[in-house]
Structure formats: structure tokens, C-alpha cells
Amino acid sequence: MKPLSRRTFLRGASGVALALPFLDAMRPTRARADTAAASPRRVMFVFQANGDETARRFAADGETSFELGEFLSPLDPYREDLIFLNNLHKRFYDLPEDARADNHQQGGSSLAPWKSGTGSFPIGGTESTIGYVEGPSADHAIGGLVMEADERVAHRHLVFRVGTKWNDIWNTHAHAGPVGQQNPIPPETDPYAAYARIFAFTPDDEAAQREVLRRLAKRQSALDLVREEGNSLLTRLGAEDRAKVQQHLESIRDVERALQTGNGAATCVQTPLGEKLNPYDDKNHVIMGELFFKISALAFACDLTRVVNFNWSGNTSNRVYSNLGLSEGHHDISHNSDASAFADIRKIHKHLWQQNTKLYDILKNTSDGDGTLWDHTLVVHWNELGQGDTHSIHDTMVVLAGKAHDHFRRGRLLDFKGKRSFADMLVSCFHYMGFEDMTSFGEDVLNMQGALPLT
């Protein structure tokens, strides 16, 4: 039997089309007999802001016998699938003085380790101004290489941010380049609109997107528009593929339910679409983050993209975490060095790490080829700073999560003591994604020795 196209969609009325997960029926006949057929590799960059408290990251520091500190403790159940990269150096001070911003600004562009160009943004603590970095971010570059290798992938990358709608040098983390040009990429900040755009078949099909949004506002499912074709497809699939499709459609329905109902305790606002949660209200950041996580997993499962750049906020985020009993903004707190401020910083980061584990569980519960998305995804957690009150950059931490095709040796704490760079870590991400000819990424002075020793 002829295999299904890897880009098979369920199409319905009003132009709405929903992508399918990877199915055994999509493999060539010979490949179906090969149970070890590889699933695509994916990478998801996850950002949280304002540094942490470096001395309290770990209670013990053995490579495999390490103990997590208070604010990292939510990760303990997942430690066998994590690698903690401690004390990576960002090396910005090796750039010419007129080609670097302050550590918040330059640090927020860490995925794009290039010099800054000219511009009108004030540099903190000086009377000088600066512009965006002059080169692409890793998510954009990796996504481009993926699309060159497989033209069936629809989106180079997806870029999401929870919270603020506006964009500037303090909260834009994705860049298109090319090298030598400033080209910041505005993220999607509204999960309602992102869902309609990504899953309404084509990015430029505005009529289909409007129909999806209209149905969400009316508490209806876009799945109803493709149900007849979906039922027809199910009769042509084997039992295992039927189960995958049904699980996938239920996952999409779950996202729709969340978009439609939100959380009864959260603030709702009136919009042209009817009542929905306000994506820009600090009180709703947990719900918006989880929605973006679910949308990311669906996009991965449909192979619509293999790269996601997700941000809990911009750098210098001053979100007020009232859900934690705080009344002062995050960035303001991070500038203080007293014990109570550090206690609040630990509280904020513990909260965000708890939210990040929801992503892990979503990936673990999403079937993908011969396993789950957790088996076939690398999640890269990063921050623009090491510690907020000192604006340090020599002691930044990255956490790698996910089984990632067993590409890395996991369950370890590696302390690089400032002798390897954040750019070196990005080279390791290129290698995981299959682009092992990449020996450096970004300005030469921001690179040190190439890919990190992680395998």
C-alpha cells in the first residue's frame, strides 16, 4: 500500500486543515519493517530572566552525586534526563566597547552571540546608545538548516513570549540576521492567535484562521470541521496509528478547551472574539505558558517545525508575581543584594522551574514515532545573566532536558568554571540537530573550544 504523505492534513469546511502526527503508515514500506527508524530531532530554547542566586543552585556538587538547591528542587524527579551546565562564560567584554550593550541587553541576545550594532537604545550605566545584535540567533540558524535538509517542514522556527506585547532590545531574543545586519524577530505573544495561525493549515490563510478563532470564541471545536475526513482516515489505519491519531486529536481538543475556558480564578477581559483570558495580565502567565507549551508540542508532533524559541518574559522582566505573595517587580527585586531579596528570587525561580516541568510532562505524554517527544527533543533552559544583583556573565547556568535521542550522557552536573562559553553550548545544539560541521557560532571572541564534552 502506498504510504501516506508526511504532510497529510485533515481538511474540512471553511478552509480549516489540521496536521497529523508522524504515523507508521507514513513510512516507506521498507522503513516500516525497521522498528529503529529515526524520529526527527527537535530543540526548544526556554528562557527565564534576571539571573538567579549562583551560590544556592546546588547543595552538593558531585558530577553524578550532586544535590539540587532550593529553587532547582522541582527538577529532582527528572534529574536522570537532565544535564546542568554550570558557570558558562558569555565573554561579552571581549567585544569592542562600542559593539556591546549592557549585560541585560547583550545577555538577552545570547542565542545570537554577535556584536551589537549602532542604535538608539541607552546602555545601562552609561551615556552611550546601542542597537540590536548583527547576526542570527541559533533558533533561526538551526531552523534554516533544517528546512534546507527537509523542505516539508513548514516553519523555520516558532518564537513565543509570555507577557508584554511590545518589542525592544530588552525583550527580543530571536534574530534573523544575516551576519552584519540587525534583524530582530518579534515573538508571538497571544496563544489564541498563535494556535489559529499554526494549525489553520497555511500561515497566510487568513480566512481559515478567522474561522478557528470564531469557533474558539463560540466554545466550538475546529475539529468538528474535519471530523468526517478524520473518521474516514481512521478506517484506513492500523490499530497503533489509530490510537496515535485519536490521542493527537484529543490533545488538540485539550488545547482548545484551555483556550476557551482558561481558569475561572483568572481575570477575563472582553475582546472582539468574546471573553478570553488576557495574555498580557501578569496573573495569567502560568496559563499562557502552559498553552504555549501545548502548542509547541503539537507543532513538534505534526512536524510543522523542529525548533521553538519560548520565553517566560523578556530580559529585565518586571513581572509582579502576586501569585507568590510578592508586590514588587522581578527586575527590581533582582537588583537588591539583601537576604530577603534573594529569598524572593529563589521563590520566583522555583515557581518557574515548577512550570517548566509541565512542559516535560506534556512531551512525555505525546507519542512520537517509536517513542515520545521527550525521547526526541532537546530542551535548553537559559538566562541572560548569572546573578542579577551583580549582572554577572561568567557564571551563567544552562540546563539541558530531555532524552534527545540519547545523544548526550545525562544525569550530570558539569562545572566549567568560566572556561567554556555559552556560544560553545550553542555549537553542541547544532551538533545534536545533525549539523556537526558547525565548529563555532557567532563572533570568534565569544567562542572558545567548540562543542562541549557532553556525549
Q: DSSP for 290-316, please give it.
A: HHHHHHHHHHHHTTS-SEEEEESS-TT
Please tell me whether residues 63 and 99 are part of one structural domain: yes
Quote the number of domains for the chain: 2
Calpha distance 437→416 (Å, rounded): 23
User: Could you list the residue range(s) of the whole structural domain that residue 256 is in?
Assistant: 1-37+191-278
Quickly tell me which residue has 493549515 as its cell: 201
Q: Length of the chain in residues, anyone?
A: 455
The residue out of 258, 278, 298 marking a domain boundary is: 278
The residue out of 278, 307, 340 marking a domain boundary is: 278
Write the CATH number for 314. Answer: 3.40.720
Please tell me whether residues 175 and 218 are part of one structural domain: no
Please tell me whether residues 169 and 200 are part of one structural domain: no
Calpha distance 347→351 (Å, rounded): 6
**63 backbone φψ class: left, alpha, beta (φ>0; ψ -120 to 50):** alpha
Quickly tell me which residue has 472582553 as its cell: 270
Residue-level pLDDT at 27: 61
Please tell me whether residues 103 and 233 are part of one structural domain: no
Contact 294, 251 (CB under 8 A): yes
Q: Comparing C-alpha atoms, which of 310, 323, 311, 331 is closest to residue 281?
A: 323
Alpha carbon 122 to chain centroid, angstroms? 28
Please tell me whether residues 267 and 310 are part of one structural domain: no
Please tell me whether residues 13 and 83 are part of one structural domain: no
Please tell me whether residues 389 and 338 are part of one structural domain: yes
The residue out of 278, 296, 321 marking a domain boundary is: 278
Identify any residues that bridge with 9 across adjacent strands, giving them in sequence order.
19
Calpha distance 321→351 (Å, rounded): 9
Task: Write the pLDDT tens digit of every residue in 187-211.
Answer: 999 999 999 888 765 555 677 778 8
Calpha distance 142→433 (Å, rounded): 8
**50 backbone φψ class: left, alpha, beta (φ>0; ψ -120 to 50):** left
Calpha distance 144→321 (Å, rounded): 36
Calpha distance 403→383 (Å, rounded): 22
Contact 389, 76 (CB under 8 A): no
Please tell me whether residues 98 and 171 are part of one structural domain: yes
Helix, strand, coil percentages (3-state) for the chain, rounded to 5, are: 40, 15, 45
Residues of the chain under the 50 pLDDT cut: 1, 31-37, 263-274
Q: Comparing C-alpha atoms, which of 372, 298, 373 is closest to residue 18?
A: 298
Residue-level pLDDT at 264: 34
**125 backbone φψ class: left, alpha, beta (φ>0; ψ -120 to 50):** left
Residue-level pLDDT at 265: 33
Whether the bond between 21 and the residue before it is cis, its omega within 30 degrees of 0, is: no
Residue-level pLDDT at 274: 43
Residue-level pLDDT at 219: 79
Residue-level pLDDT at 267: 33
Q: Considering the domain boundaries, does residue 390 fall inside one?
A: yes
> CB neighbours (10 Å) of residue 223?
18
Backbone phi and psi for residue 451, each to the nearest 5 degrees, phi listed first: -55, 145
Task: Write the pLDDT tens digit of every residue in 98-130.
Answer: 999 999 999 999 999 999 999 999 998 888 999
Identify any residues that bridge with 274 across adjacent strands, giving them in sequence order.
271
